[in-house]
Amino acid sequence: MGRHHVEVHQDGPARYRVLIDGMDITKGLAGLSLHMGVDQVPRLELDLLLVDMADLGPIEAEVRLRKATHEALVVLGWTPPAAEQRDPG
């Protein structure tokens, strides 16, 4: 995955905003981990608000993404299908 400009701003004792390449992805996050080491490029791991559907099996379904999740995925390099649908909230 490519490199991105990341900003984390504290808005209160336990409130933060996370921006990637200028896009606020806070509403689509459950959490994050930042790994930094000497002579290494920092690595940011994001925990997105997604539903765990482990071992669901093969199905065909209409996939809808919340706007915040959609924007977070796009800023990280995801290219949505041309006929994609997403929830307005």
d(CA 39, CA 44): 16
pLDDT tens-digit series, residues 2-54: 788 889 999 988 889 998 888 888 888 888 888 999 999 888 888 887 655 55
pTM of the model: 0.56
Q: pLDDT: is 87 or 64 the higher one?
A: 64
Q: What token pair was written down for 37?
A: 């080491």
Task: Read off the pLDDT band of 1 (50, 70, 90).
Answer: low
Q: What is the pLDDT of residue 67?
A: 82
Sign for the CA dihedral angle at 13, 19, 20, 26 comes to positive
